[in-house]
Structure 1
Amino acid sequence: MTARMYARAAILPLPPMDRARQVTEALASYIGQANLKAGDRLPAERELMAALAVGRSTIREVIRHFQALGVMETRKGSGTYLLKPVTTATIHMPLSFDAIHLRDALLQTLEVRRGIECEANMVAARRRTASDLATIEEKLDAMERVHLAKGTSGPEDLAFHLAIYDATHNPLFRQLLEQMREAFERFWDEPFDRPDFARRSFPFHRTLFNAIVAQDTEAARRETLKILDVVEEDIKEMSK
């Protein structure tokens, strides 16, 4: 490469580290230094907010991340407790997407979701509890309200699917979809500038819920495929 070519190339400054990731690492470091064990209670939200100089939403996002890993749980009216030892080496699975080619990235996620989500929804149908069903229905109702008001489901769609993943009682299912969340959230802000995106898949979310209620694993699989097939068709059509 010539000196002239070097002159045209620029080394750009690194972007600031994601705040949630910083808090995740700081909290993991604190747990290790404080030698907290399974069953120990973590500092309260307000204490963490003050110590780390971040907002409540960031703290809660980090706690949800650790819950998805199966190492923490929040007990209503009591606080957040450690279920397993945590260190800065606690497993996480960073996945990356090519935001420039969003259409291709979304189609790639659908290929992965077909395998994971069909299995997860079948497992949820077998293992769901009454409490799980109440949470899933709450998310579904919220999704339907947004859909009827705006014509698209937005992040409420993801919340619905995450609630189903939680109903599997296998934290690995949620972990995998959580890693895709960032790409989904960016996409849902402006889905190909089409407010009607995913409208055709909307009714199948209720039929999927009904299959989980009935503990009909094969029906759960069929309804999941219907949702993903319609979403794939919409992505291909609307991104032309």
Structure 2
Amino acid sequence: MLEELAAFVAAAGLEPGSRLPAERELALRLKVGRSTIREALKRWQALGVVEMRKGSGTYLKAPLGDDAVHLSITVRLKQDSLLRALEVRRALEAEAAAIAARRATPDDLAHIRDCLERMEAVHLRYGEAPAEDWEFHLSIYRATGNPLFLQLVSALHDALFSFFTNPLNQPGFASRSFPLHRELFEAIAARDPETARAKALAILAITEEDLRAARHAP
């Protein structure tokens, strides 16, 4: 729906500051329900593309030219959303790694090791292991002994899990971070909070580099 809406905006020649047609008119033109239009506009508002003014209408804030529709929707907007989510992931994951290094029980460490080895085996065979990578990181959250971490991760599941599914369809997305997962486990097992935090941040730094590179990919 976002691509169709972007194509309509581009075809209409709307510029930043322009008022979009009412939801009813957009729904008729795009042949969808008003609720579909409303949800699409809310997503655009969250990404800073439009401003929805109560009692006035919806106004375009970012340009969407004919030659930029797909870039804006499939790369720029999604990339911006992912980078915002990555800030939250960085805050949670780095601290969880450090806490796990201090608190993990022998059973916790055994579980993290099992998850790591499953991830490594799948990655070696297929070149990626999204589900196993996710489980590895969840095992570290569990090892903090603080259930609020898992509650937060559960609430943010859609935003966080998207990182493990190559969200921008890039060849080798974040694959450079793969060896660092074992180093992260070793730091936790060695009861070294600062190194564990540094390894978690190093993994996420590679993720951010690859996300930002997507905008310039051919």
Do these two structures clear the TM 0.5 threshold for a shared fold by scoring above it?
yes
After the TM superposition, which parts of structure 1 deviate over 6 Å for at least 4 consecutive aligned residues? Answer: 97-100
- Confirm or deny: 8 A CA contact 1:133 1:213 kept in the other structure: yes
Secondary structure of 1:131's counterpart equals helix
Return closer, same or farther for 1:166/1:7 CA change in 2, 3 Å cut-off.
closer
1:159 matched to 2:135? The reply is yes
Residue of structure 2 aligned with 1:116, choices 92, 97, 122: 92
Structure 1 length-normalised TM: 0.58
Residue of structure 2 aligned with 1:224, choices 195, 200, 217: 200
Aligned counterpart, 2:33:
12
List aligned pairs for 1:118-197, cutoff 5 A: 118-186=94-162, 188-197=164-173
Return closer, same or farther for 1:180/1:7 CA change in 2, 3 Å cut-off.
closer
Residue of structure 1 aligned with 2:190, choices 214, 221, 224: 214
Q: Quote the Cα distance in structure 1 between the aligned partners of 2:80 and 2:208.
A: 11
The answer to which structure, 1 or 2, has the higher relative contact order (CA under 8 A, 6+ apart) is 2
For structure 1, the 5+ residue unaligned runs are 16-96
Alpha-carbon offset, residue 168 of structure 1: 0.5
Structure 2 length-normalised TM: 0.63
Aligned counterpart, 2:210:
234
Return closer, same or farther for 1:169/1:147 CA change in 2, 3 Å cut-off.
same
List aligned pairs for 1:33-182, cutoff 5 A: 101-182=77-158
Alpha-carbon offset, residue 192 of structure 1: 2.1
**Residue 121 of structure 1 aligns to which amino acid in structure 2?**
A
More helix per residue: 1 or 2? 2
Alpha-carbon offset, residue 213 of structure 1: 0.3
Q: Quote the Cα distance in structure 2 between the aligned partners of 1:204 and 1:153.
A: 14
Alpha-carbon offset, residue 195 of structure 1: 3.8
